[in-house]
Amino acid sequence: MESFGILGFPARHSLSPWLHGMFYRQTGFEGVYNQFEVPPESVGGVVGALRTLGIRGINVTMPYKQAIIGQLDALSPEADRIGAVNTVDMGPDGTATGYNTDYYGFLGQLAHADVQVGGRRFVVCGMSGAGKAVYNALVDSGAAEVLVASTSPQKGVPYESLRTVTGYDTIVNCTPLGMRPNTEASVVDAQVLRRFSTAVDIVYNPVDTLFLRTARDLGLKTVGGLPMLVFQGIKSFQIWTGREVPGEAADSIINKLQQRFL
């Protein structure tokens, strides 16, 4: 039976063990999934330990999405461009390859909500690791334009400038604003949101953020973050096992998570 896990500090809060358990049940795969909570002073030997223990692959969460890169043998093209890894595949020969499945998870989130990318103009709020994944996914998928807004002048335009932008279709929140426990925070207000037709949030807890509620009240199409969580996990599972999770199974898992977070 193959072994997998989640690397982080902390890691106990992660939904990945539950999520991958669902993938196992839906596909008949036999595997185990553990939580590897490793303090910063010990993380330097993680990949070597994976080889020694025969761990087939890991998901990587904060604060190690960049720190682990130096231990890897190879990076997928999207992980190389984004500069962050959230999935490591240990090949049969022990080669450690890093991937960024947030890239695929975001595209899955949009497809699940029937939001087209090609030819549309997007504003991405925030350029953390997740924001970089979203930005690259949109550019690679044929978006007509992707404007980045950030608190850092080196990363994008100031948020205040969004009050006067025109001609953009979709705004995406890639910041943690609105996440529990700060549920009454939003990256932008109604004056900005009314300039768009679609609002997408990658935050999934709570399911219905202030950002989404405000957008919905203005008549925008809204897309919550739970499908991104599920589809990025599905991509990790596919990388490790070569198995597909059927679409109806993904829908069932998303529905179960929605009930959990309501």
Q: Quick check: is 47 in a domain? A: yes
Q: Do 216 and 235 belong together in one domain? A: no
Mean pLDDT computed over 163-171: 97
Q: Quick check: is 66 in a domain? A: yes
Structure confidence at residue 18 as a pLDDT band (50, 70, 90): very high
Give the CA distances from residue 184 to residues 135, 208, 213, in Å, rounded to whole numbers and listed in that order.
26, 11, 11
**Total domain count, the chain:** 2
Bridge partners, 119 (sequence order): none
Q: Do 80 and 147 belong together in one domain? A: no
- Could you give the residue ranges of the DSSP H alpha helices within 142-225? 190-193, 210-217
Q: Quick check: is 109 in a domain? A: no
What percentage of the chain reaches a pLDDT higher than 70?
100
Residue 27 has pLDDT above 80, yes or no: yes
Q: Do 73 and 145 belong together in one domain? A: no
Q: Do 50 and 27 belong together in one domain? A: yes
Q: What is the rounded end-to-end Cα distance, in angstroms, of the chain?
A: 35
Stronger pLDDT, 192 or 92, i.e. the higher one: 192
Q: Do 207 and 233 belong together in one domain? A: no
Structure confidence at residue 223 as a pLDDT band (50, 70, 90): very high
On average, the pLDDT of the chain sits at: 96
Angle at 6 between CA 3 and CA 10, to 5 degrees: 145
Q: Do 10 and 86 belong together in one domain? A: yes
Active site residues: 65
CATH number reported for the structural domain that contains residue 173 in this entry: 3.40.50.720
Structure confidence at residue 261 as a pLDDT band (50, 70, 90): confident
Q: Quick check: is 56 in a domain? A: yes
Short-list 238, 240, 212, CA closest to 225: 212
d(Cα 125, Cα 163) in Å, to the nearest integer? 13
Q: Do 76 and 96 belong together in one domain? A: yes
Bridge partners, 193 (sequence order): none
Residue 139 has pLDDT above 90, yes or no: yes
Mean pLDDT computed over 60-71: 94
Residue-level pLDDT at 201: 98
d(Cα 91, Cα 75) in Å, to the nearest integer? 13
> What is the tens place of the pLDDT at every residue in 84-96?
999 999 998 889 9
Residue-level pLDDT at 128: 85
Q: Quick check: is 88 in a domain? A: yes
Residue-level pLDDT at 127: 93
HSE on the CB side for 182, CA within 13 Å? 10
Residue-level pLDDT at 110: 98
> What is the tens place of the pLDDT at every residue in 207-218?
999 999 999 999
Domain span including residue 66: 2-101+227-261
Distance of CA 232 to the CA centre of its chain: 6
Q: Quick check: is 256 in a domain? A: yes
Token pair listed for 142: 């044929």
User: With helix as H, strand as E and coil as C, how does 57-70 read?
Assistant: EEEECCCCCCHHHH
Mean pLDDT computed over 121-133: 94
HSE on the CB side for 72, CA within 13 Å? 27
Q: Do 218 and 131 belong together in one domain? A: yes
Mean pLDDT computed over 17-42: 96
Residue 132 has pLDDT above 90, yes or no: yes
Are 169 and 198 contacting, i.e. CB atoms less than 8 angstroms apart? yes
Structure confidence at residue 259 as a pLDDT band (50, 70, 90): confident
Q: Do 211 and 118 belong together in one domain? A: yes
Residues 6+ apart with CB under 8 A from 80: none
Q: Quick check: is 107 in a domain? A: no
Structure confidence at residue 49 as a pLDDT band (50, 70, 90): very high
Q: Do 147 and 190 belong together in one domain? A: yes
Chain length of the chain = 262
d(Cα 144, Cα 55) in Å, to the nearest integer? 41
Q: Do 120 and 200 belong together in one domain? A: yes
Q: What is the pTM of this model?
A: 0.95
Residue-level pLDDT at 231: 98
Residues 6+ apart with CB under 8 A from 164: none
CATH number reported for the structural domain that contains residue 37 in this entry: 3.40.50.10860
Which run of H or E residues covers position 247?
A: helix 247-261
Q: Do 173 and 249 belong together in one domain? A: no
